[in-house]
Structure 1
Amino acid sequence: MNNFLKKLTPAAIAAVSLLLPLSFSGCSQQQQPNYNELTDEQKRSAEYALAGLETRNGLETTLFAAEDMLVNPTNMDVDAEGRVWVTEGYNYRSNLNPENPTKEDGDRIVILEDTDGDNKADTSQVFYQGNDINAALGIMVLDNRVFISRSPHIFVFTDTDGDDKADQKEILFSGIEGVQDDHGVHAAMFGPDGKLYFNMGNQGKVIRDAEGNIIEDIFGNEVKTDGNPFRQGLVFRSNLDGTEFEVLGHNFRNNYEVTVDSYGTVWQSDNDDDGNRSVRINYVMEYGNYGYTDERTGAGWRARRTNMPDDIPSRHWYQNSPGVVPNLLQTGAGSPTGIVLYEGDLLPELFHNAMIHADAGPNIIRSYPTQKDGAGFTATIENILEGEQDQWFRPSDVTVASDGSIFVSDWYDPGVGGHRMGDQQRGRIFRIAPEDTPYKVPEFDLSSPEGAVEALKNPNLSLRARAWLKLHDWGMDAEEALIELWESDNPRYRARALWLLSKLESNGTEYVDEALQDDNEDIRIAGFRAARQLKVDIIPYGKQLSDDPSPQVRREVAIALHRNNSPQAAELWAQLAVQHDGNDRWYLEALGIGAATQWDSHFDAWLNEVDGNWNTPGGRDIVWRSRVNTSIPILGEMIKDPETALDEKLRYFRAFDFHTSSQKQDELISILQTDLPNQDQIDLLALNHLSPSALESPIVQEKLEDAMASVRGTQEYLDLVEKFELETQHDELLRLMTTYPDSSLGIRAASLSLQNNGTEVINAVLQGDDPGRKETVIEVLGYAQSSRSLETLREFMMNEDNDPEMRQSAVLAFGSGWGGEQQLFEMVNNDEIPEPLKLAVGQALADSWRGDVQTLGNDLIGETAVENELPPIADLASKVGDSQTGREVFATSCQICHQVNGEGINFGPALTEIGSKLPKEGLYDAIINPNAGINFGYEGYIITMKDGSQTAGIIQSETETELTLLMNGGYTSIINKSEIASREEMEQSLMPENLHAQMTRQELVDLVEYLTTLE
């Protein structure tokens, strides 16, 4: 930017930019210099924006727009005229980045246009600006209406006079949580059925209408994520006015954007808990559960459970649990953003009808060509555009223009959002097309049905939506033109015509009937989906397709039975169920969706249909997936069958978790009375699925005693102690505490002992004559950091009759976690610390990650913290360190909270691939300014108990009755929610804010050099 522009306000810059030529040329990537030969300043300039990018052979990337025409693009759309609409995020998370300047007038929606045909934008028009759209995460242009997604609202802006300015603003939906949070509400899109599709991540929590009333879906469920019935992230469908609201899927983590193909099939991506290499792509099977947390309890994916998968992605998404729709594809580590279904033909054939996806984490645009696989799909990964060299390339969205080219918005930043931003001056829009293909926007005459039908063929969604709305308004007058498209050879064109023909008031069902008899299974699917939207009895159509040779079609019939209370629904479901062969999890989950809330009648109808011959691979699958009491004795029978393999028995035991009838207890006790191979393992599994009341049974008492003897000294032993609330195991728990004081085994043993009234046993050691055991118990109580362990330690350290050195050890243990540290901090300020303990208290507080606490600790021990003055991050990033030395620094300074390839403490995000996610600038910023951005899911919480004590950590898992807190050191503490008075999210990161001050500047440089190698 020249000196004149530097003196202007952001608003003035926007106005002046309309008059000035862009500061970049339209050169291709082939004309760009070698990226490694550029200076740091050149690497960040728009002039060389293409130099650090690599495009797939046969395609060419060009720069369409850049700063100063726009900055920080969060989402975009290309309208029917070929103009690019962009939402900006200059004010993104300004509350967490107070050092960043803000636009007082708020963020903008800008319209970028190439008016002279030179393949780059030359005008930038502000459509709307306001603080109500700061860092909006979604935009959809629908003729003269613009839908903007920005928690807590989805707005509809209307340009009533055609001047490209918003004249009206209405609220379509409200109350969505996650304001300025990447896990809130995301972009909407116009579906082939004329419906609105959109989603929200797991911070959205609830959705309300414009008046603030909680939305109810078409089945009468309130749309909120309290587990009744929905959990976590959700994907939605509704009419354009918000009526006929549906929740199409739930239990995602951060499903960032949704896309729909011409047949009405829904796709999206979902982000994992950071660092777990489990980002996924999903086919959204309607009304499905997608397994981010336990369907029944809401427990997080790390929670111990039967048949827990070995690999993290399967464990992360509960893939071994009945009732979870399978993942289509795992893409590893990432920060997925925008997605689109490419239904054009300009790009190479490989990308036709495939998803194209932006992932800001690994700096990449990918495509996922899919193939049908039974009732589901398989997919592969094909890269299109990579920022392998320029790691500031952060694609935030991708969309299709009317000429078939694709546009990519680039947030351009050393980080990937997640509440942090490192650059506010830049932002780019790229165009990708075959080489030497100029951007030419085709013209359409939408004044006639024939012209609108031509536009309906276009791959650009805005143009298609405009054509759809006109054709729908014309009604019967458009029938003839639509019939011509319906009779074409292109099945996707035919599907687009079918959706409109099916909605004709007089004869829409005639076209549905015709579609259901079509040779193309996709047309049959589209026809059946269209029929479901006509509010007619779906059962006759379902019967017509119940024996369809395509499992994809039968899948749709099963889904359509969801909450259908027709007397004929059970019989139809049974006909579909008998066709399950036991080898298609997609089909099985469709059956489960269809039977939801009506398992009794459907399961009985199936048993009648198979005449009791349920014992087939498909039949055992259905029993496993069912939620009906009738299946409980069958589950028991399969477990008691000596021919059933052990891994299958594990699977069936997991199914017991989804049954609540008292009949389950009786069946599990009967399993204890069998005599099978591996009976010891079977007994242990059965015991773990019983409730404490089962101890009334003599056989349970006997088996429990035997099982505990066989697993003594293991987590399985502790599971049984916890399950049956045993108060008879304090001696063994004490042995575990003193044998494994610094492991989860010993710490959990300490917590359970105190929880089960074992304080007397522990105090006996603390008042005993064995200093070694005493020291060890003090150590493990400090690690536990529960209210009971802290109370025990506090009593010991404040008792003047105890050994002075042991009291000091108790102080250090007491202050080793947030809860004890906070109590010590308050005790110092209240002058409650005895003189002999002040030095130990100072040492405990001086090790704090909180600056104010650390300062107080240093004052007590008479030390002054040394400020480690650092040069600007840009200067640090230019330095080259020694990665081997940096690895040693990581081991001493970082490994106590982070893992790399499974080594280290599992507290903060795993850093195994952090070098592929953040460049040096981002790494330095994360270390030096940890409070500027906190990874979602790693926020710290202060938990205040009803007895007044406090503890703190990361909420790892939460059910209706328990909260699992991950604490510094990687230890977990399970807290009964009935004992919690309040919880408060911390404003600061749990990462020490002065970590860099604890190492030399060279050590910091070496550390970052090592982190860059983690890819």
Structure 2
Amino acid sequence: MGSPRTWKILRRAGTGLLIAPILFWLGISAGIKLTVAKDMPFDDLLVLVGQGLLQTISCPVFGCEAELLEGMESTIFDESLLLATPVALDIDERGRVLVAETGRQNKGVEDNREHDYWLLDDLASRTVDDRRAYYQKWLGVGRFDDPEHFSAESDRLVVLEDRDADGVADSRQVLAEWDEMATGLVAGVEAREGTIWVTSIPSVYRLEDLEGDGVAESVEALHTGFGVRTSLIGHDLHGLAWGPDGRLYFSMGDRGYNVTLADGRILEPTMDAGRGAVFRMKADGSEFEVFATGVRNPQELAFDDYGNLFTGDNNGDGGDSARIVYVVEGGETGWAMTLQSLAGDYIRGPWMAEGLWDLQHETQPAWVLPPVAHIANGPAGFVHYPGLGLPDRYRDHFFLCDYAYLNGRSGIWSFALEPRGAGFQMVDRHKFAWSVLATDFDFSWDGRMFATIFDQIGLTQKIVQWQLPDRRVDSRVEELERLARGRMKDLGVEELTRLLGFVDQRIRLRAQFELAKRREIEALEALVADTRAELIPRLHALWAQGQIGREGIRAIAPAGLDWAEAEPEEFRAQLAKVIGDAGADWLAKDLRRWLASQTPRVRFFAAQSLGRLGDEQSLPGLVEMLRGNADEDVFLRHAAVWALHRIGDVEAVWAFRGDRHRSVRLAVLLVLRQAGDSRIAHFLSDSDPLLVVEAARAIYDWPIDGAMPALAALASDLRPVAAEDTQTGQALHRRVIGANVRLRSEAGAAALAAYVRDESQLQSLREIALEALGTYSEPPPRDLTMGFFRPLPEADARLLGSVFQRQGRALIDSSLGGRAIEIASEIGALPLDNAELLELVRGSEDKRSERASALAALTARAEAGDRGSELRAASQFALDSDTAALRNAGRDLLYALDPEAGLASLLAAVADASATSERQHAWTRLGVVDDARARIPILQALVDWESGALEDAVALEVMEAALAQGGELATRSRGILAPTGADSARLVDDRRWALGGGDAAAGRLIFQTVGDCQRCHGGGGGHGGGAGPDLAGVSRKGARYVLESVLIPSARITEGFGSVVVTRRSGSTLSGLLVGSSESEVVVDVGAAEPVVVARGEITSQSEPKTGMPPMGLALEPRALRDVVAYVMSLE
């Protein structure tokens, strides 16, 4: 290509905002090379980044060949030494890149969505050994071809090094690897001075590579017992980050934990074993504790410059949003892995129905803390800017990888978080780099940035590095490198104290840790007391005092806190936090005063510390703080509740149960929840309806069995729920229904029956109560709200019969009479004789459910030998009906009464019944008829299928009938259903049995759960992700289009969801999403503010669009595939 023209950018930010879009357009349309003046401030570069220049111009790293900004390097560090998917990375002090590399994804590390048959096993699992046991069970019955499936592949911690200093990795060493059956993905790595901490289910490890040769001299499991469930792939043990308290924090996704400590204590989640958490411990594994709970999949943790902890947490694929979470001690986010498999109208359970996932709202459950903000589709790598390598704008900013499968929809966000009350709010949110499939992102010790890139379309992986211009001119970068390669223990106290104010956060922390290790109390006291010093170094000195204090040494303010009253608000907040962390109980009196501070963060940390100190005298101050807050700041409420819980004087808290301030009563309720105290039932009669619901949540979800009868008793006096009231009323009613199930008594069953009969209640809730009644003797093992695995003992079958004797007729007369008849018939307690059932069969057209159920009950009696005249009359009436469902039921009854006549009717139906459902039903029934006359039409139908003469809508029923008959018919059917080649037309033709006849309602459930469709696609009802196109209205393109899209996603890609590479005459290349195309131009979204329009005449080549969607249809069972197609075709 010819030499591109050069533009020189000289103006500052104000003008840059105007010229950057112009230069951007010129650069990408004509191959212009943008040159940065050497004296150009970082703020000006920032304009270019903000306008999309960075990710567009730097795209050679991602498969393009556009020009770079002069001085801006964006290069590939490695794309040949990595052998498998990179999950996480860290850069050690020597510049070596440590990469967690997985070979076990779907090869030992599984996903429940691909193994729905073991869901109940997974939900029942409470320990890692439980998980191993059910893996062995399913191996033993042949679910996996390879008996070594769970241990054949390994995950590795790899060290990549650029030994010849040319910017490209040229050395690979495997530091350690893991391949045991229960091993998860190696998903977290943190290096410090030759010691490396690694997280890989089921353990957190400490490795020593003191010789620096890339080989671990020792691998020690510090704690084990993480990952008791399979859950979803990638929901692992990860997120290693050093806190300002000198402890190592890390996170567990919703695969749960059951960790036995050295003293014999077992740490496991509240409510259910399958819950995520954030932990912390000292470097040697001691002082291990649970810090916060209820996260779903927080892949990484990061602290800001003021010691506040945040994470990016995934959404639940139910139409909710991913979020940034402020992680505080004792914090609860509300997620449990059991919610993932709840679908239909109760998709994801309370997570969606009660708004657990959402930003703070009035009716949000009080037991959870809301997120700070919603952002991203697939939050992955998350890091705080340490302080060098970027413009000053990025001071105290965060970077979040957003992995959404498609290049053009993925990238890296940047934002800052600033205090808002005791919580935070997001500011300066913008795309830092886009069209980047980054899984992790981190900063090296020389101002460079590294990212792991994984392309699921091309199945390629690489590590890239970025660096902004003139970073080497900054002498602080050279000092950073020198300090990183040296050892803090070799520095003097004065130098270490100076480094507490160094620009790089990592150096500050290491200097702090060394001073704390040496117990340099005098130097730290001097800096803490120096009001002329900058805030940041004083905070690090304060945190070091806290570290020393945890060792039992008085290192903090031995004379009291009067001197601190004039200090900056943030200093006092941090001082309050450190006092509790250090156990400085002699300062509790001063902290009590700070509960009334005007600064929310001071009150927050004062309350938390008083709780940690167990200061019983602070209870009146905490109560007054709750009154003053009046539930406005949920983080302040949490701090007070957590303090009251930690103090542990439940009796003293109970005394405030009648306080006139609802905020105090709510706090008492929440403390009782934490304590599992049955006196929480008191609040079921509170004057505030939201407290009643909150109490019900605690009693049923926790559960608090001693209060369960009181909750169940509310069934007799429940006000009807408005249809739109999904967050309070329905939450209460569901739990009252569930409580009556848990009673396992006739009174509980009778209460459910009475609720079903109450026509003023929502029909959807009455249906839930009726189903619970029907299974009362042998209830399903999962509870009605969170889906927890909580099997109950069987109840005496006579109990339910007794209830139906008294209320059966009223239940049958209700609007749910059809299902009531079915249940009564199933348990042998139907209070209707044959004549009464015949009368129901002959009932009005609007009683279709009751009529069909009455026919089914008569069929059951016929199969038991009853030959009463009413049965044949009912059969004939049904066969003459205009309703296909009744005709189907009539044939079933006829076959039970007279198999010869019944077979003749079935044969006639498959030949010429008018309704598709009728023909489907007849074919299914023929499958279980042991008669040659049934097998002949099945064989002929298989022949017709092969010739194309069999209608699509009944083809699957024919094949299933052949399978049921067995023998040669089954063999032939299996051959038809077996997978074929990848040729698009052939693949669709061979599965045309999925084009019609499916059950849309069943397809909706598959779409939301095992099909995993809703993670990317909207499917109506306001639910679904944004990584794929919304499917509403796609039915207009026909069933064949839908089936082809499910089987071969790349065959037809919706504009805006296919990645392309466009090469122009100038030689420049664009990579992004194809969002428009015509005879004269193409439009590509490259992640900038506006898409790029390229004239056809300028294009020399254009790749075919690619999609990251896997061929899900090939993984679905035949009936599931047909039902999904039916569901998509039903979307308007």
| TM-score, structure 2 normalization | 0.60
RMSD: 6.5
Amino acid at match of 1:570: L
- 1:379 matched to which residue of 2? 426
Contact in 2 for aligned 1:896/1:905 (Cα 8 Å): no
Taking the TM superposition and a 5 Å limit, the aligned residue runs for 1:515-526 are 517=565, 519-526=567-574
Q: 1:889 to 1:550 in 2, by over 3 A?
A: farther
Task: Give me the whole-angstrom Cα distance separating, in 1, the residues matched to 2:772 and 2:152.
Answer: 56
Taking the TM superposition and a 5 Å limit, the aligned residue runs for 1:692-707 are 692=740
Offset from partner CA, 1:799-855 (integer Å, 9 cap, x none): 9478237779999xxxx9xxxx9xx99x99xx9955455567996676679999999
Task: Give me the whole-angstrom Cα distance separating, in 1, the residues matched to 2:172 and 2:974.
Answer: 61
- 1:970 matched to which residue of 2? none
- For residue 246 of structure 1, the aligned residue among 289, 301, 309 is 289
- For residue 858 of structure 2, the aligned residue among 731, 745, 764 is 764
What displacement does 1:244 show? 1.1
What displacement does 1:121 show? 3.4
What displacement does 1:197 show? 0.4
Task: Give me the whole-angstrom Cα distance separating, in 2, the residues matched to 1:378 and 1:623.
Answer: 28
Amino acid at match of 1:184: D
- 1:593 matched to which residue of 2? 642
Of the structure 1 ranges 538-547 and 663-672, higher mean CA displacement relative to structure 2 is found in: 663-672
Task: Give me the whole-angstrom Cα distance separating, in 1, the residues matched to 2:609 and 2:962.
Answer: 55
**Partner of 1:121: helix, strand, or coil?**
coil
Q: Which runs of 5+ in 1 are unaligned?
A: 1-27, 37-42, 208-213, 415-421, 740-745, 784-788, 882-887, 931-987
What displacement does 1:912 show? 2.0
- For residue 124 of structure 1, the aligned residue among 142, 164, 171 is 171
1:280 paired with 2:323, answer yes
Taking the TM superposition and a 5 Å limit, the aligned residue runs for 1:621-640 are 621-622=666-667, 625=670, 627=672, 632-633=681-682, 636-639=685-688
Amino acid at match of 1:496: H
What displacement does 1:547 show? 1.6
**Partner of 2:1013: helix, strand, or coil?**
coil
1:67 paired with 2:79, answer yes
**Partner of 1:578: helix, strand, or coil?**
helix
- 2:902 matched to which residue of 1? 803
1:719 paired with 2:768, answer yes
Task: Give me the whole-angstrom Cα distance separating, in 2, the residues matched to 1:699 and 1:502.
Answer: 54
- 1:198 matched to which residue of 2? 250
1:170 paired with 2:229, answer no
- 1:542 matched to which residue of 2? 591
What displacement does 1:283 show? 0.8
1:615 paired with 2:660, answer yes
Task: Give me the whole-angstrom Cα distance separating, in 2, the residues matched to 1:836 and 1:470.
Answer: 88
- 2:464 matched to which residue of 1? 429
**Partner of 1:166: helix, strand, or coil?**
coil
Amino acid at match of 1:368: F
Contact in 2 for aligned 1:404/1:459 (Cα 8 Å): no
Q: 1:310 to 1:836 in 2, by over 3 A?
A: farther
Of the structure 1 ranges 249-258 and 863-872, higher mean CA displacement relative to structure 2 is found in: 863-872
Q: 1:168 to 1:904 in 2, by over 3 A?
A: closer
Taking the TM superposition and a 5 Å limit, the aligned residue runs for 1:489-500 are 489-500=533-544
Q: 1:730 to 1:526 in 2, by over 3 A?
A: farther
What displacement does 1:232 show? 0.5
What displacement does 1:134 show? 8.6
Task: Give me the whole-angstrom Cα distance separating, in 1, the residues matched to 2:30 and 2:523.
Answer: 56
- Tell me the percent identity: 16
- 1:909 matched to which residue of 2? 1013
Taking the TM superposition and a 5 Å limit, the aligned residue runs for 1:14-163 are 48-50=60-62, 62-71=74-83, 72-90=85-103, 92-95=105-108, 107-113=156-162, 116=165, 120-126=167-173, 128-132=175-179, 135-163=185-213
Task: Give me the whole-angstrom Cα distance separating, in 2, the residues matched to 1:916 and 1:850.
Answer: 41
What displacement does 1:578 show? 2.7
- 1:948 matched to which residue of 2? none
- For residue 328 of structure 1, the aligned residue among 372, 390, 393 is 372
Offset from partner CA, 1:524-561 (integer Å, 9 cap, x none): 23223322232343743532422222222222233345
Q: 1:160 to 1:154 in 2, by over 3 A?
A: same
Contact in 1 for aligned 2:79/2:461 (Cα 8 Å): yes
What displacement does 1:75 show? 0.9
Task: Give me the whole-angstrom Cα distance separating, in 2, the residues matched to 1:557 and 1:309.
Answer: 35
Contact in 1 for aligned 2:441/2:449 (Cα 8 Å): yes
- 2:384 matched to which residue of 1? 341
Contact in 2 for aligned 1:570/1:601 (Cα 8 Å): no
- 1:583 matched to which residue of 2? 632
Task: Give me the whole-angstrom Cα distance separating, in 2, the residues matched to 1:486 and 1:510.
Answer: 14
Task: Give me the whole-angstrom Cα distance separating, in 2, the residues matched to 1:456 and 1:872.
Answer: 63
Q: 1:356 to 1:683 in 2, by over 3 A?
A: closer
Amino acid at match of 1:88: E
| TM-score, structure 1 normalization | 0.66
- 2:261 matched to which residue of 1? 215
- 1:15 matched to which residue of 2? none
Task: Give me the whole-angstrom Cα distance separating, in 2, the residues matched to 1:462 and 1:307.
Answer: 37
- 2:982 matched to which residue of 1? 870
What displacement does 1:66 show? 2.6
What displacement does 1:138 show? 1.0
Of the structure 1 ranges 445-454 and 288-297, higher mean CA displacement relative to structure 2 is found in: 288-297
Offset from partner CA, 1:316-342 (integer Å, 9 cap, x none): 99983231111222226x332221222
Contact in 1 for aligned 2:253/2:276 (Cα 8 Å): yes
Task: Give me the whole-angstrom Cα distance separating, in 1, the residues matched to 2:310 and 2:554.
Answer: 31
Task: Give me the whole-angstrom Cα distance separating, in 1, the residues matched to 2:698 and 2:285.
Answer: 37
What displacement does 1:473 show? 3.2
**Partner of 2:629: helix, strand, or coil?**
coil
Q: 1:604 to 1:865 in 2, by over 3 A?
A: closer
- 2:580 matched to which residue of 1? 532
Task: Give me the whole-angstrom Cα distance separating, in 1, the residues matched to 2:470 and 2:962.
Answer: 55
Task: Give me the whole-angstrom Cα distance separating, in 2, the residues matched to 1:650 and 1:834.
Answer: 59
Task: Give me the whole-angstrom Cα distance separating, in 1, the residues matched to 2:1008 and 2:247.
Answer: 48
- 2:135 matched to which residue of 1? none
Taking the TM superposition and a 5 Å limit, the aligned residue runs for 1:959-970 are none
Task: Give me the whole-angstrom Cα distance separating, in 2, the residues matched to 1:374 and 1:476.
Answer: 35
**Partner of 1:719: helix, strand, or coil?**
helix
Q: 1:238 to 1:906 in 2, by over 3 A?
A: closer
Q: 1:470 to 1:706 in 2, by over 3 A?
A: closer
- 2:300 matched to which residue of 1? 257
Q: 1:898 to 1:703 in 2, by over 3 A?
A: closer
Task: Give me the whole-angstrom Cα distance separating, in 2, the residues matched to 1:810 and 1:221.
Answer: 66
Q: Which structure's residues are more often helix, by fraction?
A: 2
Amino acid at match of 1:215: L
**Partner of 1:202: helix, strand, or coil?**
coil
Offset from partner CA, 1:596-622 (integer Å, 9 cap, x none): 384743434546xxxx6x334634644
Task: Give me the whole-angstrom Cα distance separating, in 2, the residues matched to 1:377 and 1:55.
Answer: 40
- 1:366 matched to which residue of 2? 413
What displacement does 1:490 show? 3.9
Task: Give me the whole-angstrom Cα distance separating, in 2, the residues matched to 1:59 and 1:172.
Answer: 45
Task: Give me the whole-angstrom Cα distance separating, in 1, the residues matched to 2:908 and 2:286.
Answer: 64
Contact in 1 for aligned 2:246/2:547 (Cα 8 Å): no
Amino acid at match of 1:74: V
Contact in 1 for aligned 2:821/2:830 (Cα 8 Å): no
